[in-house]
Amino acid sequence: MLRLGRKYQHLAHGAGCACFSPVLQEASRRLDAFSRRYFLAGAGAAAMAGMMPAPSFAQGPVSKVLLSKVRLFDGKSDTLRAGVQVLIEGNRIASVDTTNSPPPSDATVIDCGDRVLMPGMIDAHWHTLYAAVPLAVIATGDPGFVFSASTAEAERTLMRGFTTVRDLGSPVFSFKQAIDSGVIPGPRIFPSGAMITTSGGHGDLRMPSEIPPDSGRLSVSELVGAAAIADSIGDLKQRVREQLLQGASQVKIVGGGGVSSPRSPLDMSTFSEDELRAAIDVARDWNTYVTVHAYAPNTVQRAIAAGAACVEHAHLMDEETARIMAEKGVWLSTQPFLSTEDVAPQSGPSAERMHQVFAGTPRIYELIRKHGIKAAWGSDVLFSPEITPRQGIMLTHLSNWYTNAETLRMATSVNAELLALSNLRTPYPGKLGVIEEGAFADMLVLDGNPLEDIHLIEDPAKNLVVIMKDGRIHKNTL
């Protein structure tokens, strides 16, 4: 960013027409100011995460907690198990007991009164820094505001019962560190880092003045870590390695167009099969995987042919593509977008593409069911503090095609299977999405039975009476 500022200073001082000099000088001043703000925000977040003691946002830590008198949904079953008690030691589940043996003398006992205990939920497609911040605000480039708004949203995400998210594109590495260190409350984050795209692909949000790049200088979106633009195999491999170097648990490659990028139609494809294969090979060398953003059938098929482990979206997928995906065992991480209530306001080409997605949603779930595709659920909520509270509603949309038990399994143990593809790059070695001995103590207690009424998830303030993440109690109204 400082280099961009100097670039414009040079142009301002050397401009042939004096009338342009004040304009360019002002542009330079704003760019330098932005670079300082971004540096301070990033440095501050890193310092806070690495140096400050962890404040007590959550209750605890308590070495042992016993949740007694629960009806258990373990993340895998179709039914509840009654008369269960679960002992937590530190951040792990020590035992799941149906004999109601006496609690350890040093355990804190929470009587759940026969309420339902289930694993914390997992959102497999989330954008931690962009979920609750309007796109127009992000475009102004004020990282201080973005980080402040996202800090508040991270706690709200946790309070909705989502104890883990897979972040599919944002500069979230230091933010994740702040959560893991206890500086701010929020869910576990499996980060991808920057979306890696080609010129003109989804995620290329450069202004016309930034095209073409001058001597390889990065655009604003690249400098802040939101996107990484690569137009050669060498550059692509470098961009992948840079995300992994910063701590990416998986890498997101943009294979085609998108909704929120106004100049990238859904039918387009970006990287060639050889380019995708090169990126996938790098991820495999790092013992993790690539997930490919794709909507159109040819784009999805190209990703599968290149060896992608997972595809995001695919709402325009056809029967033949679904058959290939099922045969190859490729994961599909998709979203049940049904209406304009599920998305931030769109206009122009973006609105038209969003309606294409709405039309494709019923079809894609029919294909998933018909062909037995391994499917994960994510909300992909973006750019709206008004829409983010609908995260749970996006989950309950699955009841149009799944039983309540299947829906809950997808948001817990099934999504956890997808997260496990991160292999040695997982930031949280251990079991997620289940309640069993040895698993992480990420759990929810509900006032009501979601296997009978899945819509209880839609009102977490009322129906989630206990929220525990990593053995720490973040909410307890019992």
Q: How confident is the model at residue 261, as a pLDDT?
A: 78
Per-residue CA distances from 103 to 66, 347, 475 (Å): 7, 58, 22
Q: How confident is the model at residue 113, as a pLDDT?
A: 97
The string of pLDDT tens digits covering residues 121-162 is: 999 999 999 998 887 777 666 778 888 899 999 999 999 999
**DSSP per-residue string spanning 263-278:** T--TT-B-S-HHHHHH
User: Is the pLDDT reported for residue 41 higher than 60?
Assistant: no
Mean pLDDT computed over 437-449: 98
Q: How confident is the model at residue 51, as a pLDDT?
A: 42
Nearest alpha-carbon partner for 164 in 132, 125, 135, 198: 125
User: Is the pLDDT higher at 102 or at 401?
Assistant: 401
Q: How confident is the model at residue 35 (pLDDT cuts 50, 70, 90)?
A: very low
Nearest alpha-carbon partner for 246 in 207, 198, 194, 318: 194
Q: How confident is the model at residue 61 (pLDDT cuts 50, 70, 90)?
A: low
Distance CA(331)–CA(421), nearest Å, equals 10
Residues whose CB is less than 8 angstroms from the CB of residue 174 and which lie 6 or more positions away in sequence, other chains included: 42, 45, 46, 49
Fill in the DSSP letter of residue 422. G
Q: How confident is the model at residue 40 (pLDDT cuts 50, 70, 90)?
A: very low
> What crossing angle do the helices spanning 143-159 and 21-51 adopt, rounded to 10°?
40
Q: How confident is the model at residue 457, as a pLDDT?
A: 98
Which H or E run includes 467?
A: strand 464-469
The string of pLDDT tens digits covering residues 81-127 is: 999 999 999 999 999 998 878 889 999 999 999 999 999 999 999 99
User: Is the pLDDT reported for residue 370 higher than 70?
Assistant: yes
Two structure tokens written together for 339: 């209406």
Residues whose CB is less than 8 angstroms from the CB of residue 386 and which lie 6 or more positions away in sequence, other chains included: none
Work out the end-to-end distance of the chain between its first and last CA atoms, rounded to an integer number of angstroms. Answer: 51
Four-residue CA torsion sign, 424, 428, 429, 432: negative
Q: How confident is the model at residue 358, as a pLDDT?
A: 95
Extended beta strands in 297-337, E state: 310-313, 331-334
β-partners of residue 446 are: 116, 464
Residue 62 has phi, psi (to 5 degrees) of: -110, 130
Nearest alpha-carbon partner for 409 in 368, 450, 438, 468: 450
Two structure tokens written together for 308: 């992608």
Residues whose CB is less than 8 angstroms from the CB of residue 191 and which lie 6 or more positions away in sequence, other chains included: 167, 172, 173, 176, 247, 248, 249, 427
Q: How confident is the model at residue 68, as a pLDDT?
A: 96
Q: How confident is the model at residue 469 (pLDDT cuts 50, 70, 90)?
A: very high
The mean pLDDT value of the chain amounts to 87
Class of domain 64-118+434-476: mainly beta
User: Is the pLDDT reported for residue 31 higher than 50?
Assistant: no
Per-residue CA distances from 433 to 39, 54, 83, 134 (Å): 36, 25, 21, 31
Mean pLDDT computed over 436-458: 98
46-60, 92-106, 172-186, 310-324: the lowest-pLDDT one: 46-60
The answer to whether 388 touches 153, Cβ cutoff 8 Å, is yes
Distance CA(461)–CA(478), nearest Å, equals 13
Q: How confident is the model at residue 313, as a pLDDT?
A: 98
User: Is the pLDDT higher at 23 or at 441?
Assistant: 441
Two structure tokens written together for 252: 């997101």
Nearest alpha-carbon partner for 392 in 415, 411, 416, 409: 411
Mean pLDDT computed over 5-30: 38
Distance CA(358)–CA(256), nearest Å, equals 18
Q: How confident is the model at residue 94, as a pLDDT?
A: 97
The string of pLDDT tens digits covering residues 175-223 is: 999 999 999 999 999 999 999 999 888 988 776 777 777 777 787 777 7
Distance CA(437)–CA(94), nearest Å, equals 5
Q: How confident is the model at residue 141, as a pLDDT?
A: 63
Mean pLDDT computed over 16-29: 38
User: Is the pLDDT reported for residue 375 higher than 70?
Assistant: yes
Q: How confident is the model at residue 57, as a pLDDT?
A: 53
Q: How confident is the model at residue 264, as a pLDDT?
A: 85
Mean pLDDT computed over 321-337: 98
15-29, 96-110, 226-240: the lowest-pLDDT one: 15-29
User: Is the pLDDT reported for residue 420 higher than 60?
Assistant: yes
Q: How confident is the model at residue 4, as a pLDDT?
A: 36
* Residue 331 three-state SS: strand
Q: How confident is the model at residue 280, as a pLDDT?
A: 98
- 60 sits in the region (left: phi over 0; alpha: psi -120 to 50; else beta) called left
The answer to whether 237 touches 278, Cβ cutoff 8 Å, is yes
For residues 124-155, one letter each, b for 16 or more C-beta atoms within 10 angstroms of the residue's C-beta and e for the rest, the string is bbbbbbbbbbbbeebeebbbeebbebbbebbb
Helices (H), 52-109: none
Q: How confident is the model at residue 62, as a pLDDT?
A: 58
Helices (H), 190-342: 220-223, 233-246, 273-285, 297-306, 319-328
Side chain identity at 45, as an amino acid letter? A
Topology of the domain covering 122-401 = TIM Barrel (3.20.20)
Four-residue CA torsion sign, 477, 177, 126, 424: negative
User: Is the pLDDT reported for residue 38 higher than 60?
Assistant: no
